[in-house]
Every structure is written in C-alpha cells, then in structure tokens.
Structure 1
C-alpha cells in the first residue's frame, strides 16, 4: 500500500505565507497610529499598552466593540474596500467617547475564506486612518483564514476599542435638566446602520452603482465613511460641563437619545433645524417609509447629539465649530416621558 501524499495546511486552504506577507505590508501603515504608551509592536501574542497614570488620578477604562453590519456587503459587491475600516473604528470609538473617554487603542478582527493580501491591506489601511482620526493606536488584531466558512471574495470585520476617563469626569446624562439644549452634529450619510433595509430598497427599486441622487451617485452616499467625532467632543468637554453625548446608531434618533436622558424627561427636536442629506430622501421615497420609521432606523443627518445647559450652548457651539464641526441647536429637554418627539 502506497503511503498517502503529504497534505499541508495550504492544501486545506490556509496560506500562512500570505498571512505573513500581509503583516509585513501593513506594518508601515500601522506605525502611523502609534502612541507613546504602546509597548512593543505587531506580532506578539498580546498587545501591551501602558496606562498614562501621570494624567489620571482615578482612571476608568471604557470599552466598546462593534462591526459594520451589512454595509460590508455593499463594499464587497462594489469592490470599495478603502473606507470600510474607517466605519469599523468609528462605530467603536464614537461609542467610547460618549462617556467622555479618550480612545487609547483599537484591535481588529478580519475573517475570510481565502485571504486576498491586497484587499486585506486596503481594509486595514482604512482601519489605520480611522484610528488616526480617533487618536487611538492600532495595537493588534487577528486575520483568520477559514476555508468553507465564507463565499469567495467575502470577508467579515469586527473591532474592539478601549478608552480612558477620569472617574469624576464620566459623562452619563444623570445631570440633565429641563431646559437643557440639544446640539446636533451632521452625519456623512447613513453611517453604518440600517443597511439591511437599504439593501432591500436597492433591490426593490432596481438601483445600480450608476443611480444618481441630487447630482451625485447613490452608492457614493451610501458608502461614505462614518464620521468620527472623538476629537471635537473631547475638546468640548474641556471647556463646558457636558450633560450627555448620544451616538446615533441603530435605532436612530428615536432610540438612542433616550439612552442618556433620565426618567421623567423627554427631548423635543425640530426637523427644520438641520439639513437632511439627499440620500435619506431617496431612501424614504424608495420605500414609502413613514417619518417615524425613518427616525427610528436612520440618523437622518444627525450622527451625534450633545446636551448642555442653556447658558453653555453658545460656548459649546463655538468650541465645536472651532474644531471642524457644523453644529446646530436642534432641540431641548423638557419634562415628560415621551422619549424623543420630533416635529416637522
């Protein structure tokens, strides 16, 4: 009986050399996101980060993890991989900063059936860009090649972010009072939420990558990277006492703002106070979606809200504008239990 031919890991569909090549190719990009607290480099079993105790008396670590949902499906189908990594960082870092925390570091998980070094490198460079925007170091990650788990050309992403905040500087909404002002910060589009519905609307309306909206392309609007609000918000927290931040993600304006509003209070917003991007008009028309459903599914043009006392509103607006935002006062807090009321 002849001995069987030797079978290698590569024969089973896992290319170790490709993984090694990817690590070498991304090292220069990853280096751009480094912070002085990072100890060591890529390739270790665990990433090391020294807590900056010289700046904190009672440091509290704040963590967040997320993916990009089925927006990834659109990126894969259109071959647009360069900015989906920004989305990944944004979904985690924006959640961390709402507590008043400075993002420190980020780790990613990239899984695929067969590793394309070129695609993975493009995606990870986008993650690096997101980390730079958030001020976080990309200190590690995992690339998993799993034959049989994914269709050809498919990959999946997840991320994990850790931030830090002084214990007595945690922002949680508990000091919110009637009469407080709600400031809205513009989104770049749907960000990374509602894409299961978006993809259904694309299919039912027979939209294509060449479909135009308001002078631009629909797919450009749908794949615009999620905005990262970290640096303007951290600067704002230095100059005014912030009642709360709310990251407008899945659940839209209706579901996310109440997460940081105490019981017995509600928020009144006026939709006339901000400009809704054309992509949301297209979505609403394509699905004949009622306004209430739009507000509980999408951000509808507001990616982050800020709540401050009325006497601090002008100073808050100036600070946000000085750091690149285009803030607008979109509502106020009042007594009640209706959650969020949005009037047209």
Structure 2
C-alpha cells in the first residue's frame, strides 16, 4: 500500500500474514499466524526495510498500524534524510503518540537505509563488539507435559542449549519435569507472562529452583511492582520484568524490584529507545535481556544487532514461523553470529522465491 512520495525518499507498506510452524501458546492465548506489517523506505539507490509485529496487549493491531503509518511515513518524506533519526523519532512521537510497533517499523527501515548508504552493518555503525552478543534462547510454548518433553528434545537435537519455557496457572512441576526429561543439560528459563499471584510465584520458585531454572520472567501482573519485589526477595530464583517495562522511563521504578529488565523493539518504539532500556537498567544495577515478538527477520535482524549491549537474548521469533520471507542475522544453535553478516544495514533481505 503506497504512501505519498517526494523527490528524496519514497515509502510503502504492506501486511504480511505469516503462519507459524506450530500453534504457540502462552498464558494469554494461542497464536497460529503472526500478522506483521512491512515498511520500506527507498532513496532510489538503496532500500531500507523494517516491520511491525503489533501486540493487542500493548494496544496495537495490524489495523491500527496500517491506520497510523501514512502519518508516520509523511514525517519521513518531509524530513527526507534517514541519517537524522533523532529528529524523525521525536516527530514520529509527536505525530502519533503511542503505537510503538508502528514507529519501530519505520525506525528500523530508516536505520537499515542509513547503514546501507554507509555500506556497513548496523553493529559496526554503532561500534559494537559482535563477540559480545549473548546466545539466544529457544521458546517452548505452554503445552501438555508429553508435548513439552518432545519440544525440549527437538530443540536440543537442533542445537539449542538455552530453552525458555512458557508456563501458566497449573502443572508447573509436571511440565518442568518433562523439560528436564527431554533436555537434562539445557539452560532453562521460565516465562509466566503475568499469570501468577505473588504468593503463588514465591511458592512456585521452589519448584523452579529444584529443576535448575535460571530465572523466571514476569511472574506477576505488569502493574504489581510490589509483587515483583516480593518474588525477588522471597523467591528462590532471579526475577525478570518484561510486560512491566515498555520504555526507558519505566526502568527506574522497576530496577530495584527485579534482577533483569527485558527490552523489545516492538514495545520500545525505536532502536534508540531499546538501547536506553539496557543502559538505564545496567546503570541501576540490573541485567538486561533483548527479546522479541513472533515476527519475521525484517524486524528480528535489527534487534540482533543490539544484542552485544545485553546480558541475555531471546530472539527466536522468526524461528517459530513456518516460512520466513526474509533472511536475517545467522543464528544457528541460538548463536547470534553478527560477524558472519556480509550485508550492510540490518542484514535482512527478501528470500528469493
């Protein structure tokens, strides 16, 4: 769906419906198809790509993304220079306010275009060390114990050494026992997606600890900061906050209640803001993890270039798709191999049919 264009930059966007290889369930529901919105910005010689992976949890849908993109892309065309993203980011926020996934798609496309003009990968433009990128986890959805065991076995057989297991209201011990049966040597992390009360979470951490879980992500509702602090102080494993942190300004009120803060490009709204989350968290004594939504490499690739700034990574969103129309940063066995990127920009490129 083309937007208006001027002589400097042209822009367009389109919706992508991306079936998952298998239904993916978390405590809030099941996803079978990821709806992304692709954004392209061209200067006539180079084209930058980005994508929105909107989440209703954060108040966005593909329809809301498509509704605001004409206004956002109008800003891009009025400014006409992908290298002045500080100004563009400010004007995007002034134009639409919220809508972080939509803004992230535009920001990623501009970052990709700017780096392509300089003929460097993003991580080199930012001066980051590719060897510092942490290994990404592979996510296992909420499922019956037998299926959980099969997923754990399959992930380990495919080379993944870190598993992130989605849990819900019940059968915690059974599911973790199944994971350990299928992957006895793997590093295991748990994500409750805000499904537990503080008291439940504290009690469940004893079970998590007994199965060697490294940390638990978002054990209680996002707005229950006191609950997060209680789980951290009374529980048996470290605590990470995901849904509780949408942008950098959220970090100071969270940092003394958890051990790890999770940043995601799609909820932060820009690569710059995603970096700020990590920097502020680490300055406040927290570790930081770079995460993602279920999405194509049109957006995952950009997040991979940020990975050296983070202590942990969970960038498996494109691996859950049945087929990704884009290639991105090599991530065999969960190892984020930025040094192997032989393309400028984010490294995301459309797969040849």
- The answer to whether TM tops 0.5 is no
| TM-score for both structures, normalised by structure 1 | 0.29
| TM-score for both structures, normalised by structure 2 | 0.28
Question: Going by fraction, where is helix more abundant, 1 or 2?
Answer: 2
- The one of the two structures with greater contact order (alpha-carbon pairs below 8 A, sep at least 6) is 1
